[in-house]
Amino acid sequence: MQPLKLLTMIRKSIFIFALIILTKSLLAQHNDFAILSKDVTNFWEAIDNLKFSRDTSATFQKLVIDRATDEFKIFIKKWNIKASDYTFQIKRYPKFYETLRENTYKLINSQDSIREVVKRFQKLYPNFKQADICIAIGNFNTGGNIEIEGNRNLVYIGLEYHGLDTNTIINELSISTQDYVSRSNFYRTIVHELVHVQQYTHGKKVVKALSGDFLANRILKEGIPDFVSQLIVNHGNNGNYFNYGLKNENNLKIKIKQELWNKGSGDWFGGNVKLFVNHPRDLGYFMGAQIARSYYNVNNLQLMDLTNIIEIKSLKKFIIDSKYFE
């Protein structure tokens, strides 16, 4: 073989090898994300140390807030989480926290299951943008939240809302909180918040379509993530709002159709205690999810990607195309 031809073959082989390595590296970056759970163990360590401390707030300050991961510190600041709040909650809900503990350890040790759920989402949505997942225990500030910082996306999951199982005693909690934790579903909440990450990282049109002042904006902004989470995680708690919604969907459909283009959230979101006598909070999540589900079924998206549902451009067109109100 001629030296020049041999050299050309070697160069081609090196190029192909480098391309394979680069492709694998990019795929690894696309699939790789951090699962941060140290803040949960910090919390329970603080609980264990209370028996040796006379100053409960100082214990939570030292062991939970001062030692928080950089990721949890973002949400501590955002939601103004304080050591004194931990003290108040622990004294008010002792049985709740005592029975919450075991399942929170199970969840933070289920990293393979978390990654499997995220992988399912990636398969259904080719434009998926990854996010690190911060798991902690707050002061009933938020069950799930996101933060977008430059090229880094961060999902937060609060286990005081989404770390419960059937052994968790909830009767110490307020009626409003009991209603909320009826939907406690760790894996589904991860997907819900990851959908919010996609909504906020796919251009101004998506954000504009979902961030208006009308009820329609709010129910689809929250309902689409709920539907996607139900599609990907088809097990676990559905919550009072879901079960009530299914039983009363026809009447709810008539009511919300009349209010879609009203400004504000009406009675469809929030925790107005007077409503619990008749129906649960946050039925807007359910109705938005049902519109998205109808769009998914009518447009035969089964086994196809979720791009047209997540990267929504026109609110009115999406609702019309869903044929939910026909």
Domain boundaries, the chain: 34-197, 204-322
Using CA atoms of 239, 307, 128, 19 in order, give the dihedral in degrees to the nearest 10: 160
Give the pLDDT of residue 300. Answer: 76
pLDDT band at 18 (very low <50, low <70, confident <90, very high): very low
Cβ partners under 8 Å of residue 15, min gap 6: none
pLDDT digits (tens, 9 = 90+) for 138-176: 999 999 999 998 788 999 999 999 999 999 999 999 888
Give the pLDDT of residue 23. Answer: 40
Cβ partners under 8 Å of residue 289, min gap 6: 223, 224, 226, 227, 230
pLDDT digits (tens, 9 = 90+) for 50-102: 988 889 999 999 999 999 999 999 999 999 999 999 999 999 999 999 999 99
Instruction: Please tell me the distance from the alpha carbon of residue 139 to that of residue 75, in angstroms, as a whole number.
Output: 11
Q: Which CA distances in Å does 288 have to 82, 198, 210, 267, 277?
A: 34, 17, 12, 14, 23
Instruction: Please tell me the distance from the alpha carbon of residue 41 to that of residue 166, in angstroms, as a whole number.
Output: 21
What is the pTM for the complete model shown?
Answer: 0.88
Instruction: Please tell me the distance from the alpha carbon of residue 86 to that of residue 105, in angstroms, as a whole number.
Output: 19
State what percent of residues in the chain have pLDDT above 70: 87
Is the pLDDT assigned to residue 28 strictly greater than 60?
Answer: no
Q: In which element (H, E) is residue 75 found?
A: helix 70-79
